[in-house]
Structure 1
Amino acid sequence: MHDLLFKGCVVTAGSVIENGWVAVDGGRISRLGQGDAPPARHVEDHGDALILPGAIDAQVHSRSQKGQEDFVWSTRAAAAGGVTTIADMPYDDGFLVCTADNLRQKAREAGEQARVDFALWGTIAPDDGARHIPDIARAGACGFKFSTFGTDPVRFPRIPPDLLAACFEAVAKTGLVAGVHNEDDEMVRARIEAVTRSGITDWRAHGLSRPALAETLAMAQIYETGAATGCSAHVVHCSVARGYALCEAYRRQGFDTTVEACIHYLVLDEDNDVARLGGRAKINPPLRPRAEVEGIWNHLAAGNVTIVSTDHVSWSLARKSDPNMLKNASGVPGLDVLYPLLLTELSRRNLSPSHAARLLADNPARLFRLSAGKGGLAPGRDADITIARRETWRYDPAKSENVLTDWSPYAGRELNWRIAGTWLRGQQVFDGQTVLAAPGAGRFICPEQPSGLQ
């Protein structure tokens, strides 16, 4: 007699099991199968709906704008979107997570607010060099984030090539991953100056100021640095198909290189969406023409995309409404529609929902060294489960009680899948309408003991 049983179409990274079931005991998955189901004290029969692993969103910015979202709202949106773990970035407004003490403080504060589980990225302050990396890893960081472009000298600093190599050497000793924002600083700054001189200020300005070559130049540096230091090298977002080919080329050579496709690079494009939305669609790197979107989908179908994330940030609308495109804040929200967006696009392209299980759960867990407890529907793992049912609907953030902002680049978009429920370690945190989890329900999740830190 199991504690809990889910019945439906079970989706793993390798298969789709119709008339399947997942048994849960003590908050963990006990077994899964097909056909006649074992008895359980409570049965969740979802018919032909999809039973998916809870998603791990590898890139969330809960505190980029002070006094705006924080974990109490980001994790609420996550639960509503079928996301059961978020990995939060270290670039908090006024509080760079660049020491072990800062990481522990953020973990304590987030633990009081979080409704789903959370992991935390660490980083460095350039003046400190790499010296804090071992202690930050011991404090439980899931990885280390760096940038080849300086968005802000204090909150989001550029790490120059020699220092980046030293950081990669230090991260390699921890067994964790180094994730890098991939834009060449010198090229982007030169192009921004050129666009400013030209007088172009409308939606075209952003893409012109950050060309595709700026991304791929940075990616070559990142992967070469990983190859030279033996560090796991991860590019945290890529908007051009050429970048995925670069990653695959290094992987074929035997290097541990990975690459991430944010959901906006899979569903939005420059000509249609940036032209329509202006500052609301300003993202770094920029959204690209539709041909690049299709090129990324070709790489996804071929297995060359490692993970999909949101790069979620809920800027207030005032930060996204300047008629001068370059003056707007960069980034968009998306946690509450991550699964519906990806499942919709997969079904429209006749691709298996197993891609979603791999890109949103199995691979992110491997990336962060969390696979013992997180990452998919398998015995022994946490019973983090998302139910998605087929339904045609239009997304309207203004009508959702689960998100902070009433704007979204996906507003009005027709979706074919809706989240019917989310469970965290066997406890329901979203019922299809309302987030049930109270602040504090989520836990701080740390990697399984990285090598070099025993």
Structure 2
Amino acid sequence: MELGSTVVAVRSERVLLGDQVRPAVIVIKDGKIHQILSDSDFSGGEVLDVGDSVVMPGIVDCHVHVNEPGRVSWEGFWTATRAAAAGGVTTIVDMPLNSIPPTTTVGNFQEKLHEAKGKCFVDTAFWGGVIPDNQLELRPMIQAGVAGFKCFLIHSGVEEFPHVTERDLHTAMAQLQGTGSVLLSRPDVMEMEAIRTVTKLCLQYQVRCHIVHLSSADPLELIQEARRAGAPLTVETTHHYLSLCAEDIPAGATQFKCCPPIRGSANQVNGRGGSADG
């Protein structure tokens, strides 16, 4: 929503403030939130009254596959960012694979930026990719503006984004050392062994690492131990690993298909015993 130059505040019956939803007036100054007041405390200036529409902080979705250029039929910037805006997401970070070419070189990144120009309805940032033998592209991509890097430890699902080996990770982390960038790793079905490799290298190189869409509770203790030892390591999961159980999924129900797959109910019970500060 773009406010006119004369609007100095937004009023809503439902403003999200901390863990409460209540009426409030948000005072705007120089394009930024200046004060949040009750209706009785506000005086002066034109107010945009949005009734009972929810006013809340914008959501940042840091795991989005836009797929443009190359696979726009899957999703493109025009549709992805319009959908984000409609859902209250004000910033997305695009993943480096599924587009053709993938964001694994500076040249490919520039092509991605060219395709996105004029099509984005929300702020958009980009992850770069680590694949075998592209280590000399990593620092130039940081300088060009990528938010960090993603790699796969098994087949990514697309041929143009090959997975890395432990040797490739050593090479990549040596390049990223001292840059402040972050490496995202998607563990394979043997999540414990994949995460064991990542935690070891994270400690060795002190490069920020982030495990994406963890599905198994088993590696949580390993992750916590690495963090206690000083590894700059974080982890994320997704709602379907927390709310769905393999035992409840009917045979052939492809709407539940994901990678890694939905785990059994015991996995959720085991996961409640600890957290890893995602």
- TM more than 0.5: yes
SS of the residue aligned with 1:166?
Answer: helix
Tell me, in whole angstroms, the C-alpha distance in 2 between the residues paired with 1:21 and 1:247: 43
**Aligned residue among 121, 133, 146 for 1:115:** 121
| 2:115 partner SS | helix
Deviation for aligned residue 1:24: 2.6
Secondary structure at the aligned position of 2:231 is classed as: coil
In the alignment, the residues of structure 1 paired with residue 220 and residue 105 of structure 2 have an alpha-carbon distance, to the nearest angstrom, of 32
Q: Please, which of 50, 60, 71 is the counterpart of residue 56 of structure 1? A: 60
Aligned to 1:76, the other structure's residue is in SS state helix
TM-score, length-scaled by structure 1: 0.54
Equivalent residue in structure 1 for 2:260, among 285, 308, 323: 285
| Per-residue CA distance 1:377-404 (angstroms, 9 max, x = gap) | xxxxxxxxxxxxxxxxxxxxxxxxxxxx
1:127 CA drift (Å) = 2.9
Residue 31 of structure 1 corresponds to: 35
Paired residue type of 1:236: V
Residue pair 2:131, 2:163 contacting (<8 A) in 1 also: no
In the TM superposition, residue 9 of structure 1 has moved relative to its aligned partner by 4.1
Matched, 1:271 2:247: yes
Structure 2: gaps (5+ residues)? 1-5
Give the structure 2 partner of residue 140 of structure 1. Answer: 145
TM-aligned CA deviation for residue 169 of structure 1: 2.5
Matched, 1:178 2:183: yes
Which one has a larger percent helix, Structure 1 or Structure 2?
A: 1
Please list the CA deviations of residues 103-157 of structure 1 after superposition, one character each: whole Å capped at 9, or x if unmatched.
12212211322221111000134133x1111110011101101111123574231
- CA gap of 1:266–1:67, structure 2 versus 1, over 3 A, is same
TM-score normalized with structure 2 length? 0.84
Q: Which residue, out of 83, 94, 98, partners 1:92? A: 98
Give the alignment of 1:152-301 within 5 angstroms: 152=157, 154-183=159-188, 210=189, 214-273=190-249, 275=250, 278-296=253-271, 298=272
- Alpha-carbon distance between aligned partners in 1 of 2:11 and 2:202, rounded to the nearest angstrom: 42
Flag the structure with larger Rg: 2
Partner of 1:98: helix, strand, or coil?
Answer: coil
The question of whether the paired residues in 2 share the 8 Å contact of 1:215 and 1:285 is answered with no
Tell me the distance in 2 between the aligned counterparts of 1:34 and 1:254: 45
1:4-62 Cα distance to aligned partner (Å, 9 max, x none): 324434334xx547444433334322233567443452234555x75432111111111
CA distance in 2, matches of 1:175, 1:46: 43
- Residues 133 and 82 (structure 1), Cα distance of their counterparts in 2 relative to 1, 3 Å cut: same
Q: How many residues align?
A: 269
The residue identity in structure 1 corresponding to 2:77 is: F
Root mean square deviation of aligned Cα: 2.7
1:276–1:42 distance in 2 versus 1, CA, 3 Å: farther
What is the identity, as a one-letter code, of the residue corresponding to 1:304? Answer: A
3-state SS in 2 of match to 1:239: coil
CA shift for structure 1 position 303: 5.8
1:83 has 2:89 as partner: yes
Percent of pairs identical after alignment?
26
User: What CA distance in whole angstroms lies between the structure 2 residues aligned with 1:295 and 1:81?
Assistant: 33
**CA 1:79 to 1:263, structure 2 compared with 1: closer, same or farther past 3 Å?**
farther
How far apart in 2 are the matches of 1:245 and 1:115? Answer: 41
Task: Give the direction of change, closer, same or farther, for the CA distance of 1:112–1:249 in structure 2 (3 Å limit).
Answer: same
Instruction: In structure 2, give the amino acid aligned to 1:98.
Output: T
Q: Judging changes above 3 Å, is the alpha-carbon distance between structure 1 residues 5 and 294 closer, same or farther for their aligned structure 2 residues?
A: farther
Cα distance in 2 for partners of 1:117, 1:272 equals: 38
| Residues in 1 aligned to 2:30 and 2:62: alpha-carbon distance in whole angstroms | 26
Higher relative contact order (CA 8 A, sep 6+): 1
Q: Which residues of 2 match residues 302-381 of structure 1 at below 5 A?
A: 304-306=276-278
